Structure 1
């Protein structure tokens, strides 16, 4: 009976030691899962922002002069939104993704191959892209690693309507 009592007395702190070893790993795993969920949420917001930006750009006035756009030849016009010419477009995109920087947004106007061949007003297409957007991770910054993550590029294209179809 004395042996059992001494054995239990020696193992009293074993549970506390086990918890002290496993709790930090468990918490790290939980916070890593939360961080991954936040990255996926940000990814989704960026995708939705490009879709909203392309929709806004195709139904509203262009952010640049597209009179030089020649659809008989393959040409396109690309504009970066950091010059302040995309204020309304950026407002639409920032409504969905608040951390979006205008320097990372480009708008490309081009001609679509859709519509009938004799159309005097060719069908236009607009592509809105987010390239080089940075995201700051929380967990790597806490443990002393580089917290910046460059998101992949996101692109969305919309085609205008062909109002002259016979």
Structure 2
């Protein structure tokens, strides 16, 4: 009887199917998750591009930028690197370095216009009404204010005592953003996979003293 049990092939089809289905299911779910990861990467890329554009036409997060830079020689170019403001959403502060730096103060309303666009209401990323412009969070729903860094740098544009203030170069980047996986996160531990750095840089326009 034992010998018969050893040579018996009853149930082999079921065992083979179980092995094959496990591999096939894992592969299928992998395609779904990595496709979703690509969607997130594209969304994050678009978010920083939209954020940079909004930042270039909106009140700066640190309004003191409009008076930064030397004013001793009216009409002279604003010296490159005379100020460098970094506004970090992780701690809601704007730090500044440079010879002509004026201490920056974080302004939540100005940051929210970049992060949320024209949307108003409860929640980190309120829904948009008809005709409202989207903010960064609408392009990448997983984005949080703590992930956003906005930098205003003097790169020699504009001139001293210019009515609209100096013209900064504006960079918007993301920090500490991880991919979200539906299946593979728990299966093979991909929950902590960091997203590559995202950065978009534009030349500032007239930084408005009123909402654009």
TM-score bracket for the superposition, by shorter chain length: 0.7 to 0.9
CA RMSD of aligned residues (A): 2.7
Where do residues 4-153 of structure 1 align in structure 2 (5 Å cutoff)? Answer: 13-65=11-63, 66-70=65-69, 71-74=78-81, 75-82=83-90, 83=92, 85=108, 86-91=111-116, 92-113=135-156, 122-143=166-187, 145=189, 147-153=191-197
For the residues of structure 2 that align with 1:31 and 1:146, how far apart are their CA atoms? Answer: 13
Contact 2:178–2:191 (CA under 8 A) maintained in structure 1 = no
1:93 CA displacement? 0.4
- Take 2:156 and 2:24, find their aligned partners in 1: how far apart are those partners? 55
Q: Residue 173 of structure 2 aligns to a residue in which SS? A: strand
TM-score (norm 2): 0.62
Q: Name the one with the larger helix percent.
A: 1
1:98 to partner: Cα distance: 1.4
Structure 2: gaps of 5 or more residues:
1-7, 70-77, 93-106, 117-134, 207-212
More strand by share: 1
Please state whether the residue corresponding to 2:16 is helix, strand or coil. helix
Structure number with higher relative contact order (C-alpha < 8 Å, ≥ 6 residues apart):
2
Normalised TM-score (structure 1): 0.77
Q: Tell me, which stretches of 5 or more residues in structure 1 are unaligned?
A: 1-9
Write out per-residue CA displacement over residues 81-133 of structure 1, whole angstroms, 9 at most, x where no aligned residue. Answer: 34262111110101111111111101111133568x89956542110010111
Please give the per-residue CA displacement for 1:31-83, whole angstroms capped at 9, x wherever unaligned.
11111111110010000000000000001111112035333141311111342
The alpha-carbon deviation at position 158 of structure 1 amounts to 0.8
Counterpart Cα distance in 2 of 1:138 and 1:148:
13
The alignment covers a number of residue pairs equal to 152
